[in-house]
Each structure stands twice: as structure tokens, then as C-alpha cells.
Structure 1
Amino acid sequence: MASFIEDYALLSDMNTGALVSRAGSIDWFCAPRFDSGAVFTALLGDREDGRWLLAPLESVNPSPVEEVRTERSYRENTFVLQTVWHVGDASVRITDFMPLAGGTSIVRNVEGLTGEVTMLQELNLRFDNGKTTPWATRYEGPIDPATGQPDEDQSMLVGMAGPHALVFRGSPMPEGQYGNHTDTFTVSAGQNFVFSLSYFASNHNPPAPIDYATSLTYALDQWSEWSGLYVNELPEESAQEPEAETGQTPTGNDPAETEISAVRTLPADAGVGGVAASSQQNLRSQDDAAAGVPEIENSNTQALEIDSETYHELVQTSVQPIVPSTPEEIQTQSDDTYREARLRSLLVLRALISRETGGLVGAITTSLPETIGGRRNWDYRFAWLRDVAMAMDVTLVHGHERETAQLRNWILRALANNPRRPHAVYGVAGEKDDLDRRLNLPGYEGSQPVRSGNGSDDSFQGDALGQVLVTFANLRDNGVGEDHLSWPLQKALLNAAADRIGQPDRSIWEIMGDPAVFTHSQVMLWAAFNAGVSAVEEHGMAGDAVLWSECRDTVAREILTRGYNAELNSFVQTYDGFTVDVSLLQLAQVGFVSWDDPRMLGTVEQIEKQLQHPSGMIRRYINRNGFDGFEDQDPPHFAASLWLAEQYIRSGREAEGRRLLDTVLEAANDLGLMSSEYDFDSNRMTGNFPHSLAHIALIRVVEALGI
């Protein structure tokens, strides 16, 4: 059985990733890309579906005499994991990492610290998501003239099946056959045992052995160099020009090196999130957007009367005034704690961006259930236009020019498929893949189905289109010029948006129920047109600003008429509705209303009443009558809760924002990683892991605090 989701640590080589459990088992590893078939699949099954266990024998067969304890952490600002095992008075340290210089490998080093510890190593090799067991062959090392025996340090075990192959190196070599290999060995203080596993195409020779010290040093340097680019913005009154960045010497091995020229040097005061600080000043306010558009009082009375009894059972309608927090009320975690959480989240984004293609995956896993035993199981090893655009905003703010260029160019390549029919989701390289396959695996704690592929990518989502255009507006406002490809593609998106006004879709959440006209989707169309108008009027781009302005005002009129419920003083989930969902928190993020607009504050109150868990975290929406195509209700959502925390902070409720941020940080695991949801009934994470959208949202919250 797999470990709890929160018990896993992420390893990454910026092209794929692996999950190591607290028990010392690598239960998930896709090679050579994030979206490749899994080599280790025990996460969605058991040991027979592939894993690599390396842990004290006492941890697997507990002794009544020896106590076993573990401590783990990343080496500062890296994804080099160190786990110290204490077995009675003895101890060992295991260092796990993925080299960053060529190939796809995992390296594990066992170092004796005190006493003697007997270690168990179990290597179960699989391909094709656990379906294929490779033929394994052991190759002895050359004969040592001094002993007349093969050199064990140069032995290797090669597992091969069709196009795939793995080579395992290390001494002692585990014994076994047919891909299942097990061994025990004793580690004494001062001893080191290094093991490595590398993927390669079976029509090639095995890659050369990995030099542990060299590859570890390079990995530490690369991760630390990237995190060292972090721009810690000073308060406005003491802001200074940032120093020139260092450590960016091209190696010639990274495809992204050729893309840096697409992004100019950006100022340190670039905005955060969906709209830059300067861009927010340029966006028309909601009142301006609706100039000349009369508000219709009680426009949703008929919709309320249809189901008012049910509504009043769901929420109370009394309105409490919003009182800004005072400094005396703000007594939560230290600013340093928040900065560290932000830096870890930035590192997670770098770990989930493909160095080869520039695509950001939603997570490295598939089919981890949003509700244990339920059917809300999706493949997150894909790139969402929305997430990539949001990630580009935060890399822009923090001085990561290369990653900003990678993300930008990935979006352009993906949209070039057909910008008049953009999808919400693309493959890691920007390809279209609308096949949703079922894998013959037991599923995480029996949760079915287990999926490979994401069938949602053929559906139009207004939020994806809008977020892309908002982000490109943000780039323009921060000095990033358009090129021969970027602006024509944006114009094609705007033409596509003009055809989608008032059209039903499946919302930002890609529901499986009936399509509807979601207010948030229409607001994102408004944001798209607004970005188009500003491109022409403020940046001199060629385009039909008159048409886009008319479209913008038409959408604004419909949103204020049908997407806002005057009786509730709240925007609503769908036109003419009376319920809310958390996507409405993005209305202020994209500038449709201000953070402290009374209608926005009223929407926040309805979100608190309808969606908030006693912990303070919130659900995405209430699944009334199977609205989203499923019978159950999913747990509170990490990213949604962080959106609410940002709203609190930016509307003067800093104490509440900090408290909610603290709750989220407590729900994250000990390494600062978050999945998509948290089930407070069982005190467990649920959903795919680690979730890029949650980490993007955390970065935004800390930026809102101005630290």
C-alpha cells in the first residue's frame, strides 16, 4: 500500500520527477518526461507495480527492542533530499537526488553516521505504468588483477523491454530476476554506499556511470543558483535598482538558453499575479468599464424566487461590516517563515517546468483522488494555459528571465496549434492529446479510475484565454516587446473571444456536468478584451480597438446584469444564479472590480458562508445535486484558500489573511509541498501532488503582504 500523499518528497531534474516516501520507497517515477509511462507505480498500486525501497531493515520488520525514527529535509534551497534514520543508538543518512546534467537518473547514497545499521534494498523494475516487467541481465565488472574477481563497483544490472531500458549500478548489487531484486547489507559509521538508476533508450548503450560527488555538487549549485536569482523587493520608500544577475553563463546544453533574448531586463517593481502593479493602474476600473450601463436593481429576483427556500437553508443573509485589521491584531508566523515558504514554492515551479520544452505541468502524478475512494481522479501531468500564464507572472516578478521566456514561448507554440480554437490543456511540449485512457492499476487506496491522458483539452474555457491575454498585457507593461508571432496569435485569441460572449462552458474547474454560462469565464473574456484595447491604445499595437472595446462593454453589461445578484450583494457562480464559487475571487485579481469594492466584499461574504470550512480553508464550490457530474463533495482546496487569503490582505483584512495563510502552511507537508486539496475529516492531503497552482497562489499571497 502507498504512503499518505503528504509523506512524499519531490525529486526533480527539471524534465521529470520522482516521489520518495518517508518510508524510503520511491513509489512514483516517470521517465524520461513528466508525462512518460511510469517506471515505479506503487503509488497507484503496491510493490508489485514497481518501486525502489532503500531503508533500514528494522523499519520494514520492526523490532520490539530497537526504536526507529526518521528526520528529513531538503538541503537548503534545493531538491536534494536528506533522510536520517535512527535505529536505536545507530544512524544512517540517505541522500536522494536527480542529477541535472544530462540523462534521466536517480542517485541514492547511504552514509553510516553512528553504529551499524542493516539496510534493505528492494528494486522492482517496471515499464508502461506497471504493465511490463523488463528482462533483467546482470553484467559483471572487469576482472580485478589483484583479486582475480570481477570489480563489483563496475557491475551493472540492465532491465530492458521494447524501447525502454534501465541500468542500475552500485555495490552490493541486489539479487533476483525478472525485474525483482532484493538484498540486505550492513552500514557502519564512516561507510558510504552509492546506488544509481538511469533510464535510456534500449537501442543505445547504457550511459556512463555517474560520478556521485561531481553530480551532487552540480545539482546543489544549479538549484542554489536558481533560488539565488530571487528578487527580494524592498518597500517602495526604500526600493533600489536591482544588481545585475550573475551565474547565467550559457552552457550550450540547455534549450532555454536560446530563448533568453525574448525577455528584456525587467524592473524590480514588476507587478504580481495576473496583473502588474502598473497594469492595474491602466486597466479600466469596473465602474469605467460599465460607463453608461445602468445597473438593474434586483435583476435576479426571479432566479431567487425559484429556489429561495433552498438558498436560505444553505446560507444566512445578514451582512457584517468589514473592519480592516490593526497591527496589534496581526500576531502570526514571522515574515521569514513566509519568505521561506515563498522560496520553496518558487523552487517547486522550477522543478515542474520542463527544461526541454518550457511546459509547466499541473503536478507530476496522475489519478491521486480528490476524495479517497472517489472518482475525481485526473491526470495532472499536462500543462494548463492558465497555470503557465500565472507562473509566467511570478517568474517575471522574481527576476527569472530565462524561465519567463521558456513559459512565454511554450504558450506561443501551444497556441499555434489553432488559436481560434484554443484548448485549456496541452501536453508538456504543447501538443494536443484528447485521449483519456484507463490504466490497469488498483488505484490509490482503491480509487478508480486510474487515468492516463486528459480528455478536457478539447473543451473551450474562457478563463484560459483570458489569463493568457492578461499575462501578455502584464509583459508589455513591464517592457517586454511583442514579436512576429506573439501579437498575431493574441489577435487571433481576441477574435475567438468575440465569438464566445455569453457562451456556456465547463468553468475553470472543468466540470463533468452540464455546461453553463459561468460568471468567472465571462469576466476573463472581459479581461481579454481589456488587454486588447490597452495593447492598441497604450502600446501602439495594430488591432481593432473599437470592436474589442464594444465587446468589453457588452460583456461587462451582461456580467453586471446577470452575473451579479443585487439581493445578495454578490457576484454569482452562473448567470441568474444565487450560489458562488471561489473563481469569483479572481475578479479583483484581473481588475474587473477593486479589491475593496462593496460588491467584491459582498461576494467574499457569500464565499465565507457557502464554502468555508471551520478551519478557514474553502471548497471550490458546493456540489449541489451532482452539479459537477459526481455524487460527492470534494474537500477544501489549497489554491482557492490562498486566493481568499490574498483577497483578505489586499482589502485590509491582513490578520485574517495571515491566519488563513498559516492554516494552509500547517496543512502543507513538512517539506512545504501541497497537493490540490486537504481532507480535514481524515487530516490528510488529497489530489495530485505537488500542485503547481497551489504554489503559484502561495507566492501571490506572500507578495500581497509586501515582504
Structure 2
Amino acid sequence: MSATPIADHALLSDCHSSALVDTSGSVEWLTFPRFDSPSVMARLLDDHAGHWSIRPAGDFSSTRRYLDGTLVLETTFHTPSATVVLTDALAMGPDNEGHRLGRDVPHLLLRTVTCVSGADELEVSYAPRPEYGLVVSLLSETPGGVTARGGAEWLVLTTPVPLSLTRGTGVGRTRISAGQTLYFALHRSTLEETPAHVWAEDEIAAVLDRTVDAWRSWSTLHQSYEGPWQDLVHASGRVLKALTFQPSGAVVAAATTSLPEGVGGERNWDYRYSWVRDASLTMEALWVAACPDEADDFFAFMATAAASGVGPDRALQIMFGVGGEHDLSERSLPHLSGWRDSAPVRVGNGAWGQQQLDVYGELLGAASRLTDQLHDLDADTRRFLSALADAAAVRWREPDQGIWEVRGAPRHFLHSRVMCWVALDRAVALADVIGDRSRVGEWQRVRDQIAETVVREGWSDTAGAFTQYVGTDALDASTLMLPIVGFLPATDPRVLATLDAIEERLTDERGLVYRYRTEDGVDGLAGEEGTFLLCTFWLAQALAMAGRAERAREVFERAARYVNDVGLLGEEVDPATGELLGNFPQAFSHIGLVNAAWAIAEAEQRVPTG
């Protein structure tokens, strides 16, 4: 059973695929060549599903950081006799500066070990397990390294430490002394590459330097936010960039699958796909945390992925594979025990077949925010944006599964209707960009009709707040979006009452916000879940917009204290233990952090001084 805390991991990304490395120097998750590819290493989900560890052989403690402006990880091991630094990165290609981060990457995991002082023994353990641990690779020695064949994978490990190979696992030890550096690399090769390409020390050093420079170039060109929690905002911007699939412009919701929303429960989902909602909100957050030069690519990706049509008679699919794939059929992997025995482990995601009406508003909201970055939209993309508004205008009265993708019965969720209002409101504002003014009158008429209906049917006198869906008194954190998207002013008495109700009745003892109360049974699933970091940041953002900047800061700090040692957030927090839960790192949480920090900065600028 894998039990390492989720927060003990750090993300590596080449904007194609991802790896997670824990505090002891073990790669516990690795996918090649895409985020959603079958894992090569997945000890995160089962002890037998693969890893690659480089660590001191005896007792040690460790600290770690990302090199400034990068996602290149530096772990420092402190032993009784030495200080050793491990540097990890997924390599960037030769032309990856500025606007080109993630182009033509070599699918190469780099690892270097430098002894800063003293001397000690290192231990290396290498166990590739392709296809989510189903395949035990055949390992063979090659000069300077080890090849691994198994399933569809042909991996070449460059290692200066000779490994003893037994049953698909290589282990070895070596002594390292002050001033010495060891160079390792794991390359996803092709079967045609014969002999296997083992990387020379100078090649590894050069590619690592190039990767550091590429990240720093991107950060320097794109990250200009200056305000409260600047370091956290910039780190979140890099995380959001790291979750972008460069070849298509898609954005994944998280780097992992099946890390649970409740320990031992069934709320375990695959988040390595591009949700329209999450990706659109990522584009908006990048507007704050980094210049979103990906905007053109993202909207082109969405228009292409949805090329089969969207409109009044055809709903927009709510998520796609990173290459634009539609069929994301869900299945379980019974051979994996799951993190802390949280089964089932799933790949694919059944939500791809759901109707979620909020996606029209999220896409058009992102387009509105990013107007300055959308240059010379092609005719297909303009038609696509216009069709989104038409679909919202017709479908807004229909029940759906909502923002939280409930697996119970569809309902008339308030948030979905509000986001249909957003779709039409933004389409009116974007009419000239879209190139279609003929629909403006109809869009305005339906927008106003939605607004009247939401206010009439969404408010509950009993709850003293806007509620989850029509006909209930249950609270839902998604109603915090009413002021955030501009549906009502944050100072409206009904909005203020809703903020108070959520803070009083939808939070845990730490003051973190639940999405909703699972005991109400709306989501059709057994068990409980943690508090949602995104929702807590929403509360901070809404409080800031309401002029309660000091209170907003308090709420922000509650959520921000769960950032791990390298600036990463999961999806949820366990109410009992305070541990991070859910897939990791979670784009939603970093989006919430960025937007809340920006809203607080804006609110504090409005407060008169003197």
C-alpha cells in the first residue's frame, strides 16, 4: 500500500507529460509521452507499480526547492557525514525559450547528484513498470546504462552506478565525495533506436542547463504580477503552465489519477484530461499570473476538439483528451490497491458523457477576459464562440450534472444557470470579436430572462441564501460565483447573506469551505470528502469584492497555509488530519489562489489611506 503523504511530492513537467518526486528522492509517478499516457512508474498508487529512487543509503533528512523561476527540483540530503544535492527535471527541447516552452521535447527525465561536502554512500533503485504497473520490464545491461523492454515501452536508463538486475528491478550502491557529480537520465526511446542511446555527462549537463534557462526565460517574459503573495502567485502560474499540453494547447486538471477525495473511499477520478471548465479558468488565471500567450492555441484546440458541432441541438462535450479525443471511457484497474487502499483506481473519466451547462459561460468568460490575446481568430473559432452562446440561450432551462459532476440525478443547478447568463452576457460584449451582431438582441433578451429566473427561484428565505439548485435549501459553494462573475454586485444584501451563510454553515473547524454537504445525497456517491481549497479561495475572493479585505486576507491565509514546501496544492484538505487530498497538483486550487490574491490586491488599492 502506498502511504506517502500527497503533499510530500513535487511536480516535474515538460508540458507534455509529468513526474512526481517525493522528499526521499523517489520518482513515484511518471507518464510518457503524454499526461494521460499509461504510467511508467506509479508507486504513488501501489507499492508494486514502479519507481526510481536515488537517495543516501543510511539515515538522512531532506529539504527541497524549485530553482528560482523554474520547475527544476533541487533536493538536499543531509546525512551524518555529507551534504548531497539531487537535481531533477523533465527536459525541455532546444528551442524552448519565451513563447515556445514545451516545443519538441526529448521525453527525457534528468537527474544529477552532487556531493557538496563530506562523503557517503548512495543507493539507487530502478523499477520501471509500464501500463500502470501491469508490465514487469525486461531489464538488460548496455554500456553505460540499462535498457527496459515491456509492453509498448522502450526505455533507456543512463546510470554511472552499476545496477544488479533481478526480476525487473535494478539496484546498486556507490560512494560519492565532495565535489563529485553523478549524471543520470531516463529516455523514452523508440524501438528503432539501436544501439540504445546512453547520454554522456556533458549532454545531460547541457540539457539540464537548457531546461533551467527555458523555464526562467518563460517566467521572465510572462510573470509580471506584483502584489500580495507574489511568490505564491508566480509559483501557481508556473504550475498552470506546467499542466498545459503544448502540442495542442489543452490544459489538464491535474497530473495524476485516482488520488482520493476521502481516504479509503470511492471518490477517485482520473484528472489527466482537459475539462472545458478547468482549462478556461486556467486561461483566466494566467491572465493574472502570467501573460497567457497560450490563449490562441487553447481556443483553437477547443474549436477543433468540438468540431463535430455545438449548438441548440447538440451539447458541448465537457472534456477532451489532450489531443482532442472524445471517448474517455472509464475503467478500473483492479491490480492496483490505490493510495492508502483507496480503491478503485480509475483511468478514463465517465463525466465525459455528462451534460454540464456551465461550460458555455466558462469558455465565453475566458474569451472575454483574454480579448487582447485573441488575435485574428479564424472563421471556425468565431462560429464556435457564437454557437456556444446560442446553445446557452436554448439549453439553460435543462437539468444537468453541474460543476461538481454529480453522479446522481440531474438537477436545475443554480450555478449552471448563472453561467449560461455569463455566456450570453459575454457574447454580447464579444459580438464584434466574434463577428456576429445579428444575434445580439436575442442574446440580451434571454440573458435578462435567466437573470430574473435565477433571482426568483435561486433564493431561499429558509436558508437565508442562494442555494444549490431550484427547490432546495441546501447550500453550495458555487453560489460564491454570483459576485465573482458579475451576476450581482458583491455588496448586494442577498450576496452578503450568502457569504455569511457559507462561512457559518459550510465550513469545517479550520474555516475551510466544503463544496456542499455530502449527507444531502445530491452526488449519488457513498462516503465523505474533504474541504475544497478552490471554494475557500472563492470565499476570500468574494469577500474582497464585497469590501471586506481584512476578512478576505484571513480566509486566504487559511487556505494558503496548505501549500506544500515547493508551492503545490492538492484539491482538498482532510478535515480530520489536515492532509492534502485529491489529485495533485490541482489546477483548480492554484486558479483559486491566483484569482483571490488578485482580488485582494484590487480591494486593498480601493481602500482610502491617511
TM-score > 0.5 by shorter chain: yes
Give the corresponding residue for 1:366: 257
Give the corresponding residue for 1:405: 296
The reply on whether 1:121 has 2:124 as its aligned counterpart is yes
Q: Give distance in 2, aligned partners of 1:538 and 1:193.
A: 54
C-alpha displacement at 1:566, in angstroms?
Answer: 3.9
Q: Give distance in 1, aligned partners of 2:435 and 2:23.
A: 55
Specify the SS of the correspondent of 1:223: helix
Larger radius of gyration: 1
Q: Name structure 1 gaps, 5 residues minimum.
A: 60-67, 141-154, 235-334
Is the 1:613–1:636 Cα contact (8 Å) retained in structure 2? Answer: yes
Is the 1:158–1:165 Cα contact (8 Å) retained in structure 2? Answer: yes
C-alpha displacement at 1:539, in angstroms?
Answer: 7.7
Is the 1:395–1:403 Cα contact (8 Å) retained in structure 2? Answer: no
Give the corresponding residue for 1:431: 325
Specify the SS of the correspondent of 1:73: strand
Give the corresponding residue for 2:503: 608
Give the corresponding residue for 1:557: 452
Q: Give distance in 1, aligned partners of 2:252 and 2:197.
A: 27
% identical equivalent positions: 31
The reply on whether 1:199 has 2:188 as its aligned counterpart is yes
| Closer, same or farther: CA 188–706 of 1 in aligned 2, 3 Å | same
Specify the SS of the correspondent of 1:402: coil
Q: Give distance in 1, aligned partners of 2:116 and 2:462.
A: 67
Is the 1:169–1:195 Cα contact (8 Å) retained in structure 2? Answer: yes
Report the AA paired with residue 378 of structure 1: W
Q: Give distance in 2, aligned partners of 1:630 and 1:398.
A: 35
Q: Comparing 541-550 with 586-595, which one deviates more in the overlay?
A: 541-550
Q: Give distance in 1, aligned partners of 2:451 and 2:61.
A: 59
C-alpha displacement at 1:397, in angstroms?
Answer: 4.3
The reply on whether 1:24 has 2:25 as its aligned counterpart is yes
Q: Give distance in 1, aligned partners of 2:474 and 2:151.
A: 53
1:243-279 deviations in Å (ceiling 9; x for gaps):
xxxxxxxxxxxxxxxxxxxxxxxxxxxxxxxxxxxxx
Give the corresponding residue for 2:440: 545
Give the corresponding residue for 1:131: 134
The reply on whether 1:422 has 2:316 as its aligned counterpart is yes
Specify the SS of the correspondent of 1:627: coil
Give TM-score scaled by structure 2 length: 0.92
Q: Give distance in 1, aligned partners of 2:432 and 2:130.
A: 55
Q: Give distance in 2, aligned partners of 1:539 and 1:360.
A: 23
Give the corresponding residue for 2:247: 356
Aligned CA-pair RMSD: 1.9
Report the AA paired with residue 704 of structure 1: A
Q: Give distance in 2, aligned partners of 1:537 and 1:41.
A: 49
Q: Give distance in 1, aligned partners of 2:458 and 2:193.
A: 59
Is the 2:234–2:290 Cα contact (8 Å) retained in structure 1? Answer: no
The reply on whether 1:57 has 2:57 as its aligned counterpart is yes
Report the AA paired with residue 590 of structure 1: V
Give the corresponding residue for 1:251: none
Q: Give distance in 1, aligned partners of 2:123 and 2:571.
A: 33
Q: Comparing 469-478 with 411-420, which one deviates more in the overlay?
A: 469-478
Give the corresponding residue for 2:600: 705
| Closer, same or farther: CA 479–491 of 1 in aligned 2, 3 Å | closer
C-alpha displacement at 1:570, in angstroms?
Answer: 1.8
The reply on whether 1:520 has 2:415 as its aligned counterpart is yes
| Closer, same or farther: CA 510–553 of 1 in aligned 2, 3 Å | same
Specify the SS of the correspondent of 2:293: helix
1:148-202 deviations in Å (ceiling 9; x for gaps):
xxxxxxx221111243110001212211144210011111111111111111232
Report the AA paired with residue 134 of structure 1: S
Is the 1:615–1:663 Cα contact (8 Å) retained in structure 2? Answer: yes
Specify the SS of the correspondent of 1:445: coil
Is the 2:289–2:594 Cα contact (8 Å) retained in structure 1? Answer: no
C-alpha displacement at 1:401, in angstroms?
Answer: 4.6
The reply on whether 1:218 has 2:221 as its aligned counterpart is no
Give the corresponding residue for 1:329: none
Q: Give distance in 2, aligned partners of 1:478 and 1:57.
A: 51
Give the corresponding residue for 2:487: 592
C-alpha displacement at 1:534, in angstroms?
Answer: 2.7
Query: Which of 44, 65, 69 is matched with 1:77 structurally?
Result: 69
| Closer, same or farther: CA 551–81 of 1 in aligned 2, 3 Å | same
The reply on whether 1:175 has 2:167 as its aligned counterpart is no
1:538-588 deviations in Å (ceiling 9; x for gaps):
986333222222221222222122112245442111002211111111111
Specify the SS of the correspondent of 1:618: coil
Q: Give distance in 2, aligned partners of 1:630 and 1:449.
A: 13
Count of matched residue positions in the alignment of Structure 1 and Structure 2: 583
Q: Name structure 2 gaps, 5 residues minimum.
A: 94-104, 603-610
Is the 1:639–1:697 Cα contact (8 Å) retained in structure 2? Answer: yes
Give the corresponding residue for 1:456: 351
Report the AA paired with residue 341 of structure 1: L
The reply on whether 1:209 has 2:203 as its aligned counterpart is no
Q: Give distance in 2, aligned partners of 1:477 and 1:502.
A: 32
C-alpha displacement at 1:614, in angstroms?
Answer: 2.0
Give the corresponding residue for 2:275: 384
C-alpha displacement at 1:392, in angstroms?
Answer: 1.5
The reply on whether 1:13 has 2:14 as its aligned counterpart is yes
C-alpha displacement at 1:599, in angstroms?
Answer: 1.2
Q: Give distance in 2, aligned partners of 1:581 and 1:569.
A: 13
Is the 1:45–1:444 Cα contact (8 Å) retained in structure 2? Answer: yes
1:572-609 deviations in Å (ceiling 9; x for gaps):
11002211111111111221101211111111111112
C-alpha displacement at 1:533, in angstroms?
Answer: 2.5
Is the 1:162–1:202 Cα contact (8 Å) retained in structure 2? Answer: no
Specify the SS of the correspondent of 2:250: coil
Give the corresponding residue for 1:343: 234
| Closer, same or farther: CA 89–162 of 1 in aligned 2, 3 Å | closer
Q: Give distance in 2, aligned partners of 1:478 and 1:138.
A: 51
1:407-435 deviations in Å (ceiling 9; x for gaps):
22222222223323211111111211231
Specify the SS of the correspondent of 1:543: coil
